[in-house]
Amino acid sequence: MLRALLAVLVVALPWAAAAQDLEARARALHRDAIVVDGHNDVPMLLLDLGFDLGMDGAAPDTTSPWPWFFLSWLPGRPAGEELRTDTDLARMERGGLDAQFFSIWVDPDHYDPERPGVATARAQAMIDAVLEQVQRHPERLALAKSAEDVRRIVASGRHAALMGLEGGHAIEDDLGTLRRYHAQGVRYMTLTWSFSHTWADSSGDAGGHGGLTEFGRDVVREMNDLGMLVDVSHVSDPTFWDALETSRAPVIASHSSARSIAPHPRNLSDDMLRAVGESGGVVMLNFGGIFLDPRKVGTWNHVKNTLRYGFPVPTTLAMLADHVEHVARVAGVDHVGLGSDFDGTLFLPDDMRTVEDFPNLTVELARRGWSDADLRKLLGENLLRVLARTQALASAPGAR
């Protein structure tokens, strides 16, 4: 018996040591790499509930804001330091998150073609909320408008703040407004959110245009001229293909996962993944359980499987890694990135609950045999390449 135990130890101890060494090396690589997250919805908490990125959104006595977005008419909703969030500067530092695209999301309550100016005012207020954070925390945060800015800011020991406009309805059919947002630092626009508007169809409803209208194509061309990334997350399949056909620059999906694994209409099919790769673009994986876990796709599906498997039905880090590997396999490892949707989605994977947990994915993929070079591509280099390429195409002679 003793001999058998010793034999097990002889095998197990070196394996355990090797596993510890792999994890340590993966975490060191993560810390050294430039890590870019393509989508985070914390700006709505900054603007509406008085949260500040310098606050501790992980404090044990804080409260999730989620129920209060649906029950905002009730008194006593948490605000400021009372909020539990997925995002704050301290956890960005601990998670090695170097560059964050903050989402400028105009919810449907602020969009009505019959009430001009309401949506643009909301978008401007959210942009101002992000810029105010940069002003409040200049020693930790700086605004980036280019890939070069990101590298410079990260080299200075600070986090790079970028902005992405989530939903083309927020320009209210005005290319001048699009240019104004770009001038303030918005570096991508998601063509739709979860509803169709006057010039583009969404994956969230039946639509009515069959894709992009001619004005919608003009919007894409203007984004190319500005050097603004064209984002195809949330769009209908016809809008996706119209955008790919129209854009002369690479396109991105800022927070979408693989439809062949989890058949959510917000996810991209394998043909779409290949097309983004062929455009030179990048697909940035959404961490939300309803986009990763086929058991959670659709509200009724989630209810059924919660009853079947018990509450809560866990979404695992391995599921997220499976989506990452699928996109890398289909689109190519040069065309995959991270778009967490933190503070904007539910049912996050175990071990990937907040921005502090980004290194856990790096460790998981290293265990699966990912090389250091490919990990760096996923973590940020792919997106930085696409941003630099898009801006170079805009400034090339004869671009306009």
Within a domain: residue 7? no
Is the pLDDT reported for residue 73 higher than 80? no
pLDDT of residue 299: 63
Q: Greater confidence, 19 or 284?
A: 284
What pLDDT, in 10s, does the model give residues 352-367?
A: 999 999 999 999 999 9
Q: What's the rounded mean pLDDT across residues 244-249?
A: 98
pLDDT of residue 386: 98
Alpha helices (runs of H) in the chain, residue ranges in sequence order: 2-32, 43-49, 66-70, 89-94, 118-136, 147-155, 175-183, 214-226, 237-246, 270-279, 289-292, 299-309, 317-330, 358-367, 372-376, 382-395
How many independent structural domains does the chain possess? Answer: 1
Domain with residue 251: its CATH number is 3.20.20.140
pTM of the model: 0.93
Within a domain: residue 8? no
Within a domain: residue 19? no
Q: What's the rounded mean pLDDT across residues 173-202?
A: 98
Within a domain: residue 10? no
Q: Locate 50 and state its tokens.
A: 């008085």
Helix (H, G, I), strand (E, B) or coil at 213: coil
pLDDT of residue 307: 61
Within a domain: residue 3? no
pLDDT of residue 15: 61
CA angle (82, 360, 276) in 5-degree steps? 100
Query: What range defines the domain where residue 305 resides?
Result: 31-395
Type of residue at 145 = K
Q: What's the rounded mean pLDDT across residues 149-172?
A: 98
pLDDT of residue 4: 64
Cα dist from 358 to 87, 316, 381, whole Å: 12, 14, 16
Q: What's the rounded mean pLDDT across residues 239-248?
A: 98
Within a domain: residue 22? no
CA–CA gap between residue 166 and residue 100 (Å, rounded): 14
Is the pLDDT reported for residue 309 higher than 90? no
Q: What's the rounded mean pLDDT across residues 146-173?
A: 98
CA–CA gap between residue 139 and residue 156 (Å, rounded): 9
pLDDT of residue 67: 73
Is the pLDDT reported for residue 100 higher than 60? yes
pLDDT of residue 384: 99
pLDDT of residue 222: 98
Q: What's the rounded mean pLDDT across residues 17-25?
A: 91
pLDDT of residue 17: 78
Is the pLDDT reported for residue 281 higher than 60? yes
Percent of the chain whose predicted confidence (pLDDT) is above 90 = 82
Q: What's the rounded mean pLDDT across residues 63-71?
A: 76
Helix (H, G, I), strand (E, B) or coil at 99: strand
Is the pLDDT reported for residue 168 higher than 80? yes
pLDDT of residue 103: 98
pLDDT of residue 351: 97
β-pairing verdict for 99-105 and 159-166: parallel
Is the pLDDT reported for residue 116 higher than 80? yes
Q: What's the rounded mean pLDDT across residues 73-92?
A: 91
Is the pLDDT reported for residue 24 higher than 60? yes
Neighbours of 183 (CB within 10 A): 10
Within a domain: residue 53? yes
Within a domain: residue 174? yes
What pLDDT, in 10s, does the model give residues 143-152?
A: 999 999 999 9
What pLDDT, in 10s, does the model give residues 194-234?
A: 999 999 999 999 999 999 999 999 999 999 999 999 999 99
pLDDT of residue 76: 78
